[in-house]
Amino acid sequence: MNLSKMPRRFLLNIFIFFLFLSSLIFSNTTGELKLCAIRVSFPVEDDESTTGDGQFLKTANGINCFQYTIDPPPHNRSYFESQIKAVSSYFDSVSYGAFKVDLENSDIFPFGEDNSYELDSSMASYNPYGQSSQSEGKITRLFQDAIVLADLEDGIDFSEYDLIVVFHAGIGQDFSLPFLDPTPQDIPSTYIDRDMIKENIEGGSLVINGYEILHGIILPETQNHLLYEISNDMFSSAGSPCDYQYGLTGTFALMIGFAIGLPPLWNIETGKSGVGIFGLMDQGSNNGRGIIPAPPTAWTRIYAGWEESVDITFKTNIELPSRYKNNIAKVNINDSEYFLIENRDNSIIEDISIDSLQYIMWKKSGEDSITPFINILFDSSGLNFDTNNIVISVPNYDIGLPKSGILIWHIDEQIINNGLNNFSINSNPSKLGVDLEEADGAQDIGFESFFAFNDPSSGYFGDVWFNGNVEYNRANPLMKGFKPRFGPDTYPNTKANNQSETFIVIDNISKAKKVMNFDLYQSLTIKNFEDTSIIIHNIAEVFQNGDNQILFDNDSLWVSDIDSIQNKILIHIPSSKDYLTLFKHNSDYTEINIFEHQDNYTHHYKYEYNILTESILLKNNFNYSDYLYPYIDYHTDSLIFISENEWQTYSNMVLSSDLDFILNEDTKKITTIKNNIENELSISSIEYIVGTDIDSDFQPEILSIDTSGILSVLNSKGLLMSGFPFESKVQAPLLVRNLIGDEKPEIVTKSKDSTLIYIISSKGEILYKINSFRNEKIICLDSFDNQSSLVTNNRIIQFDFDSVSDSTFWSYIHGNNKRNRYIETKNTNTTNQFKIIHSYVYPNPIRNDLGTIRIETNNSNRIEIKIFDLAGYFIKDFYKEDLYDHGNQINEFVWDVSKIESGVYFAKVKVTGYSETNADYVEKIIKIAVLH
């Protein structure tokens, strides 16, 4: 399997062959790694298709960069000791000491300073041009040949080492060039694993002296083309050719990353980038000309076990120091998604980066000359060189980033878990498992770019969050003059991956500095609790102080005002998790009834909250030898107990003043009862109902969910209300209340997969898609602080000013907090005003034999429809009179057009009110097309 693709970027792209261990997620990423390094060369030859002559460099033959030469020769044993020290320093730094190379017990073979194992085959034979289908097998053979030859000459005990690294003479075939590659048969850097060995080595395994070698790495001696004579043809015309040098450390670190199980964060099939230059396991391996590879992303470092994130709470100002162990802030979104926030500092001296110093020097030159990047890197970045003039450590591996500031990562563990085994964490650019929220709003990392060199699709300074980011202001012009904000209405935004609202806002982001500041809050008023063990059980006005209190459970049942959890009052210590609460008000106390179900018994505890003493006392304790279900009768305000069987029926009813609805669990049909007359509605497959006055006409409507999760709103005749059925599948419960502040109520429910809370208008429109945890349960819709509120078991979401009565709404699971499933529908309309609300035909055009004329009226007595053809000839009429239902009325008339010619027809609709003279009426014309 050829997985050679990495993100393409001119001279900043490594093309790697690798195959991962199937046990990737169990890889060891802490401790010390013992390396066995093997140096192999090839027969001396002058092959123009490969770089060099097959031997390790002793002197440079290309463009002379003098003291600014990266990885200068001789490339002897000491040189490779320096390379191993360099990669060990990198991992020691970015893991905060948790992982590095065991320098004392790692070895380089052969032991002679200038020796190598010379293979029989040429360099080109291991990567023949135009034979990509054989590349994997040829590369694996190189790995095998090197190990067998090393064992033959020196009898190496490979069981003493964790990882074998084969260094070969020459350059790696690892860079994408903006011109025809003159040396296409150079050998690509490769991570080889068990599957690659199994598929390409005879016998399916590589066993030396009884020890099976499972994986290893192939690397070149250098990545610096300028050390070779061919560089005179490749780069001599460049203004600053020495800026085209690259070190080996980045490639080496990337290969070790694979070997220890750090997942790739790009699309391994297309080579498209996922996190660009902001992470080792993508293009960040070549930051700082390959000398300063980027640290792994915040997620990767946590995954590796090198650090942990810190959960931060809303309504706080956050101070975030620059990257160090456990300086990663975490903001939870839902069960699988969260933001990781880190402060990355690329300064080489106070507030000055390599790029900004280069700019300063250009200005000082009178804008006449640009100091090469490599000069500043070597002279001013604090690099630590050894006696071989190799950079063996860097004070801060973030200095290779394009800018200091905050990086915000959107992590989706579900995508990650689904993609770990097939290495597709970041395969879908629209749904990345590890996604950088790019501050410029473009989200273009991994997408095609029109820029040949400074390619933003690999990542650039505009992706970093800091006050003063002009690219952020370009995407968010309304924020000009303000500090950056990352929220629901910015580009990018804080929505979850399913596009639901999180209402998370990261605001007032400071200038880039060692300790950055930002505010964290939510755009809607959302009451979250720092103590995550708190589970909201119910809502009630226990204190009788004009506002509701929360009753919450964390092993005991407590009550408190919403903003003073610390002043909570203990009510009860339940012995069962299956319990419910009911409340009754008296003049000087609140009666709190608790019913526990356990072992076929019902335990009833009656407490009283004394308003004067602000204390709670247990007044009575009853035991019943059956499961009993209580509710408070709407008419008498009495506490009623019914059996489990009776409750099964009662909980499928909706009661009102003149019309009741009953759902039959067996037939899954709804029956209406009015004046003791039963009528079964035609709609079927219903498994859940609630009731409300959805259109404010003082008539009850039924909200239903069928067996497939379809939400419908029906009038008393079983006809669908306008805007329904709802477009997405949902689950019980359904709650109804006026939350938004208009004249109509809203419907609240959860998506069938439990990841969303929908706020739906009375016309079936989605007003909000609110992000939700899967175990989040909707408790009720009620009022807090005079604001209409959605209450779940772990938060309270507040909307507009509350000015409604709950009597006509279904605000709790069983209608109201008395559990009596009763809605009040008093008709106070005493006028004869009437109107046509809607009149239309569906489908229109009528292509089959039947079309339905739907007339929605208000307070009407008679409907008359006359249909005419285009010439004015009468075709058909319908009428219905004595429409007893006041309020909004829906009537439908089915027109059979099987014997009607195709053409255009007009339906004249006349609606008459209750006037005794029958003189008051309104008319409308419907245009109908018939097509056969």
- Give the pLDDT confidence score for residue 807 in this predicted structure: 65
Could you tell me which residue, 13 or 214, shows the higher pLDDT?
Answer: 214
- DSSP letter (8 states) at residue 62: S
Give pLDDT tens digits for 534-587: 899 999 999 999 999 999 998 899 999 988 888 999 999 999 999 999 999 999
What is the average per-residue pLDDT within 286-298? 97
| DSSP-derived 3-state class of residue 358 | helix
Q: Are the beta carbons of 290 and 171 closer than 8 angstroms?
A: no
Give the C-alpha separation, 114 to 250, whole Å. 24
Task: Give one DSSP letter per residue of 642-702, joined into a string.
Answer: EEHHHHHHHTTEEEESS-EEEEETTTTEEEEEETTEEEE-S---EEEEEEE-TTSSSS-EE
- Give the pLDDT confidence score for residue 456 in this predicted structure: 64
Which residues have a Cβ under 8 Å from the Cβ of 746 and sit 6 or more positions away? 736, 737, 738, 739, 740, 759, 760, 761, 762, 767
pLDDT over threshold 70, residue 264: yes
- Give the pLDDT confidence score for residue 7 in this predicted structure: 34
- Give the pLDDT confidence score for residue 90 in this predicted structure: 99
Phi-psi region of 800 (alpha: psi -120 to 50; beta: other; left: phi over 0): beta
- DSSP letter (8 states) at residue 354: H
What is the average per-residue pLDDT within 882-901? 83
Q: Where are the domains of the chain?
A: 17-261, 574-643, 651-827, 835-930
Query: What's this model's pTM, rounded to 2 decimal places?
Result: 0.87
Look at the chain and count its residues.
Answer: 932
Mean pLDDT of the chain: 91
CA distances from 695 to 529, 763, 859, 882 (A): 36, 9, 13, 22
Give pLDDT tens digits for 169-201: 999 998 776 566 789 999 999 999 899 999 999
Q: Lowest-pLDDT range, 25-29, 657-661, 919-923?
A: 25-29
Give the C-alpha separation, 833 to 889, whole Å. 13
- The radius of gyration of the chain from alpha carbons, rounded to an integer in Å, stands at 37
H helical segments located in 344-449 = 354-364, 373-380, 413-419
Burial class from Cβ neighbours inside 10 Å (0-12, 13-18, 19+) for residue 871 reads: exposed
Q: Are the beta carbons of 757 and 790 closer than 8 angstroms?
A: yes
- Give the pLDDT confidence score for residue 805 in this predicted structure: 61
| DSSP-derived 3-state class of residue 560 | strand
- Give the pLDDT confidence score for residue 638 in this predicted structure: 92
What is the average per-residue pLDDT within 699-722? 93
Secondary structure E strands in 418-545: 434-436, 504-507, 515-522, 525-528, 535-540
Q: What b/e string do you get for 528-565 counting C-beta neighbours within 10 Å, with b at 16 or more?
A: ebeeeebbbbbbbbbbeeeebbbbbbeeebbbbbbeeb
Structure tokens at 204: 């399916």
Q: Distance between alpha carbon 499 and the CA centroid of its chain, in Å?
A: 9
- Give the pLDDT confidence score for residue 639 in this predicted structure: 94
Burial class from Cβ neighbours inside 10 Å (0-12, 13-18, 19+) for residue 602 reads: buried
Give pLDDT tens digits for 828-862: 554 556 778 888 899 999 998 999 998 888 778 88
- Give the pLDDT confidence score for residue 531 in this predicted structure: 77
User: What is the pLDDT confidence band of residue 713, given thresholds at 50, 70 and 90?
Assistant: very high
Chain position carrying tokens 């015309």: 237
Could you tell me which residue, 7 or 79, shows the higher pLDDT?
Answer: 79
Q: Which amino acid is at 653?
A: M
User: What is the pLDDT confidence band of residue 21, given thresholds at 50, 70 and 90?
Assistant: very low
Is beta strand 525-528 parallel, antiparallel or unpaired with respect to 328-332?
unpaired
Give the C-alpha separation, 924 to 895, whole Å. 18
Q: Are the beta carbons of 57 and 236 closer than 8 angstroms?
A: no
Task: Give one DSSP letter per residue of 802-868, joined into a string.
Answer: ----GGGS--BTTBSTT---EE-------S---EEEEEEEESSSB-SSEEEEEEEEES-SEEEEEEE
Considering 62-66, 350-354, 522-526, the range whose residues carry the highest mean pLDDT is 62-66
User: What is the pLDDT confidence band of residue 151, given thresholds at 50, 70 and 90?
Assistant: very high
- Give the pLDDT confidence score for residue 343 in this predicted structure: 99
Cis peptide before 845 (omega within 30 of 0): yes
Q: What b/e string do you get for 894-918 counting C-beta neighbours within 10 Å, with b at 16 or more?
A: ebebeebeeeebebebebbbbeeee
User: What is the pLDDT confidence band of residue 238, given thresholds at 50, 70 and 90?
Assistant: confident
- Give the pLDDT confidence score for residue 830 in this predicted structure: 47
Out of 2.40.30.10, 3.30.450.40, 3.40.50.620, 2.60.40.2550, select the CATH number for domain 835-930: 2.60.40.2550
- DSSP letter (8 states) at residue 274: S
What is the average per-residue pLDDT within 441-469? 80
Q: Which amino acid is at 67?
A: Q
Paired with 572 in beta bridges are 557
Give the C-alpha separation, 739 to 666, whole Å. 35
Give the CA diameter of the chain. Answer: 118
| DSSP-derived 3-state class of residue 307 | coil
Give the C-alpha separation, 51 to 248, whole Å. 16
Paired with 437 in beta bridges are none
| DSSP-derived 3-state class of residue 543 | coil
pLDDT over threshold 50, residue 20: no
Identify the sign of the CA torsion 527, 529, 534, 540.
Answer: negative
Nearest residue to 669 via CA among 704, 713, 637: 704
pLDDT over threshold 80, residue 26: no
- Give the pLDDT confidence score for residue 16 in this predicted structure: 42
User: What is the pLDDT confidence band of residue 759, given thresholds at 50, 70 and 90?
Assistant: very high
pLDDT over threshold 50, residue 472: yes
Q: Lowest-pLDDT range, 170-179, 508-517, 629-638?
A: 170-179
Is beta strand 434-436 parallel, antiparallel or unpaired with respect to 766-771?
unpaired
Number of other CB atoms surrounding residue 928 within 10 Å: 20
pLDDT over threshold 50, residue 810: yes
User: What is the pLDDT confidence band of residue 11, given thresholds at 50, 70 and 90?
Assistant: very low
- Give the pLDDT confidence score for residue 250 in this predicted structure: 98
H helical segments located in 502-654 = 644-650
Out of 3.90.230.10, 2.40.128.630, 3.40.50.410, 3.40.50.300, select the CATH number for domain 651-827: 2.40.128.630
Nearest residue to 394 via CA among 288, 251, 266: 288
- Give the pLDDT confidence score for residue 67 in this predicted structure: 97
